[in-house]
Each structure stands twice: as C-alpha cells, then as structure tokens.
Structure 1
Amino acid sequence: MSLHARARSALSSWIAPDAAQDALRRDYLAHLDRHPDAMWRSCLPGHLTASTAIIDPSGRRAVLTLHSKLKLWLQVGGHCEADDASLAAAALREATEESGIRGLRLLPEPVRLDRHTVPCGGGSWHLDVQYAAVAPGDAVLARVEDESDDLDWFPVDDVPDPSDDACRRLVAAAAAAVRAA
C-alpha cells in the first residue's frame, strides 16, 4: 500500500475530537482524492505533513523548537519522505531527528489536524497531521543545527512567545492524550 493510500486510510478511520476537526479531516480526504501527489512537497496547492508534540511522561512538559525560518516556538515535524511507511512513521522520524531523543513512543492516532499557509514553492498549504509522543524519563535533547535555532522543554500550560495558537492547541491536546494513555 502506498503512503498516499495509508494516509487516506488513517484519516478515514480517525475519530475527530470535535466538528471543526472532523470538517478538516474531510477536507484532507478530499485533497488526497484530488491530488495523487498530495503527500509530497511538490504538490503546490498543498501537501500533507506530519508533526509531533513531544511530551514528558507526566504530561506536564513539552519539547518545542525555535524554528530557524519562522522564528516561532513550534512542535517538531515536517514533510513526508519516500521511505516513510505512514504519516505516523513520518511524525516519529521527524520528532527523533529534530529533537535527538531516542526511544520516543508515538501515540497511535493523530491528536489534531492543522491547515496553515507556508512559503513552500512560493506559497502553499501544509495539511498537518499532528501526533503526540511520550519521551523517556531520561530524555536528552540534541538540537539539530540546521533544523532550529533552539530546542527546550516548556510547561504545557506556558508555551513561550513567539508561538502560535495552533501550537498551543496541539500541546494541550497532546498533553491530555499522554495523561490519558
């Protein structure tokens, strides 16, 4: 099964937490149906991406990265790659690469979706599928120089500025999911 088909399957079976998230889920599915290349950066109307809020085992702290281009504190994540078996695999790969944390445990289902504009290809959409991952208790951060300007732990109820509401919503949802797991 292709990454495109796996993404469609994952989003088809995902139970959204509210009506707005379900409407976004249906929009993502329609986008996948219209664009055979929807998983790739080359799909300039917009493409699916995968991101992760990394949460400590207590559900009280989150890892955020100071994005080198956007200059915002955000979750880790990014574009799918040809070797990714699924959106979840892409999310876990990106989280591991960008945080340096080994042994992350990704929760099996997305926690949120977020569609936002980005400068890719002169202006495009990221249709972000957002996951939560639990870091090991002894996690050590290792910032990747070309990925971010900084990387640190923050209280889930005190996301630093500058950030955005989408990141704050994801961190809150991820922390709740980790505490419930």
Structure 2
Amino acid sequence: MTHAELHADAFATLSAWTPPSHGQFSLREAYLGFLAARPDATARSCAPGHLTASAVVMSADRRSVLLTLHPRVGRWLQLGGHCEDGDSSLAAAAFREATEESGIDGLVMDPAPLDLDVHPITCSLGIPTRHFDVRFLVTAPPGAVAVISDESDDLRFWPVDALPPGTDASVTTLVAAAVARG
C-alpha cells in the first residue's frame, strides 16, 4: 500500500473513532488537522512529525501487559513503531510491530484505536520531531511466551497493577484504557 492509501486509511479510521474522553477528542481533532495539512503524515520522512502505530499487548486474562525496554529511550514502553510500505492500515502497522517485536503467534487485534499520544522524539531522522502515535489493543493467546527481538533490551509481561518502576504516565494510562475496554 502506498503512503497516500495509508494516509486515507488513517484519516478514515480516526474520523470514525469515538474518543473515550474530551482530551482524546481534542487529540483526534489535532491528528485530523495534521493529516489534512500533510499528505506525507504517515511517512517517517515527514520532519515536522509523523503518525506511528503501537500496540498494548495484553495477556489473554487481561492481568498482565507485555512491555519492551526500549534500547534508545531506556524506558518500558508498549510495542510499536513507524508505518512502513506495505502496511494496509494503521491497525495493520500496529499488528505487524506487535508480532515482530513480541515473537508471539496468534495475537488478536482490536481494529479500533484505543488511545492517542503525541510525544517529542529524535528518531531515525536524527533531528527532533514528534510521533503522533495511534495505539491499539492486541491480545495474546493463553500461555503466550514472548521472544526478545533486536528491537528490545528486555521484553516481559508485567502485572497490570505492578508496572515497572518509573513507568511513563502515558503507558500507565494506556494500560488502564486496555483493562477498561476488556
């Protein structure tokens, strides 16, 4: 799929999504405005910022969440990353990232966004930019065992009520949203 098609999917997905809070509604409107202004918004080459897709991977019983110790950031985060050529949708990009980074077969994806988060970062462009992250819920099959990839310093399931020390507030909020969606 081309970035133009992915851009159209992103606009349609976010337009159809009903945000769970006023803050998420405001972010959705900002994302839609950014998409309207930037036809390259889904390409990592878009220097002012670009859409990314991530997945909060929950255990089948929703008691634990899979987090990666991100090598560049040095914090425990959900799985995810940049949209790539061939991604048919934002949900597909999040699912691809979850599968690649977890090594788990049989993941199940909820195609509706769970949460939005904008954060400043210096990513592969080598200059300060922003990630307009669209975050999705993915469920692991019962008994799933994660396999660490070269994109993680560590990877493990954490109890939802005992996340690693220093967990970023946006991850805590994301996990709470995933648990609430059930």
TM-score for both structures, normalised by structure 2 = 0.95
Alpha-carbon contact 1:113-1:130 (below 8 Å) kept: yes
Q: How does 1:13-28 map to 2 (within 5 A)?
A: 13-28=16-31
2:84: which partner in 1? 81
Matched residues, percent identical? 49
Q: How does 1:54-69 map to 2 (within 5 A)?
A: 54-69=57-72
Q: Does 1:130 align with 2:138?
A: no
Unaligned runs of at least 5 residues, structure 2: none
1:140: which partner in 2? 145
- Matched residue SS, 2:46: coil
CA RMSD of aligned residues (A): 1.0
TM-score for both structures, normalised by structure 1 = 0.95
Alpha-carbon contact 1:50-1:130 (below 8 Å) kept: yes
1:6: which partner in 2? 9
**Displaced runs of 4 or more, over 3 A:** none
Q: How does 1:13-52 map to 2 (within 5 A)?
A: 13-52=16-55
Give the Cα separation in 2 of the matches to 1:78 and 1:12: 22
Alpha-carbon contact 1:73-1:161 (below 8 Å) kept: no
- Matched residue SS, 2:111: coil
Q: Does 1:100 align with 2:98?
A: no
Alpha-carbon contact 1:59-1:176 (below 8 Å) kept: no
Q: Residue type of the partner of 1:27?
A: A
- Matched residue SS, 1:90: helix
1:156: which partner in 2? 160
Give the Cα separation in 2 of the matches to 1:150 and 1:70: 12
Q: Deviations over 1:20-74 (max 9, x none)?
A: 1000000000000111100011001110000000001111100000000101000
Q: CA deviation at 1:175?
A: 2.0
Give the Cα separation in 2 of the matches to 1:53 and 1:175: 10
Q: CA deviation at 1:163?
A: 2.4
- Matched residue SS, 2:146: coil
